[in-house]
Amino acid sequence: MLLHVHPENPQPRALKTIAECLRDGGVIIYPTDTIYGLGCDIFQQNAIERICRIKHIDPAKAQLSFICYDLSDLARYTKSIDTPLYRLLKSYLPGPYTFILPASKEVPRILKSKKDTIGLRIPDNPIARSIVQTLDHPILSTSLPGDMVEEYTDPDLIYANFENLVDLVVDGGTGGMIASTIVDCTGDELHVLRQGLGPWPETP
C-alpha cells in the first residue's frame, strides 16, 4: 500500500493507519530528514526479523536505530548519561544525527548490539516524529537495502521496488540522498563513525 501523507501537516487519519500497521507487526518505509527509512515497532520481534531478512543482516550486527519523538525516551531506553552529554544531544536534535548510547534493560534483547548499545535518532521531519508520537513509543529504523540511493528519493519507485516486501510505503515527498551522521557517545570522547548530512563538529 502506498499512502500519501502531507509533509508538513500529516493527516491524523493517515497517522492512525500507519500506527495500526506498526502495532499489528507491519513493516513500513517512511520519510526522515535524510533518506527514506525501513521501520517497524520496537516491540514486534517478527517485524524486526523481517527487516533483518530484507536487509540480509544479523540483528546483533545491524545498524538499527530508535526513532524517537523527543529526548523524553532517553531515560527509558538508555542508561543514565551526564549533563554535558544531555545538553549536547539537546542542541543537535531534532536533526540528521544518530547518537550511539548505552542501552538500558528496557531495550528488547534482539535490538542490542554485542556492546549493549543503541542508536538514537530524532529526525527533523514532521511525518517521522508524528508517527512515533501517534504510536506512543519509538520505532526501529534502518536504511533501505542496496546501493541505488537515487531510487530511494522517489516514493513511487520505492513502492515499485518494495511493495512485495513491506506492508506500507509512506509517501512524504522526495527524499534525500545522504544518510545521517553517526556519533558514538559511549567512550571517553565522542567519535564519528560515519560522516553524513549533519555537520560535525559544529557550534550548535
Parallel, antiparallel or unpaired: strands 97-102 and 181-184:
parallel
Burial class (CB in 10 A: 0-12, 13-18, 19+), 127: buried
- What's the CATH code of the domain at 184? 3.90.870.10
In a domain, residue 202? The reply is no
Q: Where are the beta strands (DSSP E) in the chain?
A: 2-4, 28-30, 37-41, 65-67, 97-102, 117-121, 139-143, 168-171, 181-184, 191-194
For residue range 161-187, list pLDDT tens digits in order: 999 999 999 999 999 999 999 999 998
In a domain, residue 174? The reply is yes
Q: How confident is the model at residue 109 (pLDDT cuts 50, 70, 90)?
A: confident
| pLDDT higher than 70, residue 123 | yes
- What's the confidence (pLDDT) of residue 204? 45
Q: What is the Cα–Cα distance from 176 to 167, expressed in whole angstroms?
A: 22
For residue range 23-42, list pLDDT tens digits in order: 999 999 999 999 999 999 99
In a domain, residue 200? The reply is no
| pLDDT higher than 90, residue 201 | no
In a domain, residue 82? The reply is yes
Residues 7-26 have a mean pLDDT of 97
User: What is the CA 66 to chain-centroid distance, rounded?
Assistant: 5
In a domain, residue 54? The reply is yes
Q: How many CB atoms lie within 10 A of CB 159?
A: 18
**Would you call 77 helix, strand, or coil by DSSP?**
helix
Q: Where are the beta strands (DSSP E) in 28-171?
A: 28-30, 37-41, 65-67, 97-102, 117-121, 139-143, 168-171
Q: How confident is the model at residue 203 (pLDDT cuts 50, 70, 90)?
A: very low
* Global confidence as pTM: 0.92
**Would you call 28 helix, strand, or coil by DSSP?**
strand
Task: Give the range of the structural domain holding residue 20, as residue numbers without chain letter.
Answer: 2-194
In a domain, residue 201? The reply is no
Specify the number of domains making up the chain: 1
Q: How many CB atoms lie within 10 A of CB 23?
A: 13
DSSP state of 51: H
Q: How confident is the model at residue 113 (pLDDT cuts 50, 70, 90)?
A: low
In a domain, residue 65? The reply is yes
Enumerate the β-bridge partners of residue 180.
none
In a domain, residue 135? The reply is yes
| pLDDT higher than 90, residue 67 | yes
For residue range 125-146, list pLDDT tens digits in order: 999 999 999 999 999 999 998 7
Q: How confident is the model at residue 60 (pLDDT cuts 50, 70, 90)?
A: low
For residue range 88-98, list pLDDT tens digits in order: 999 999 999 99
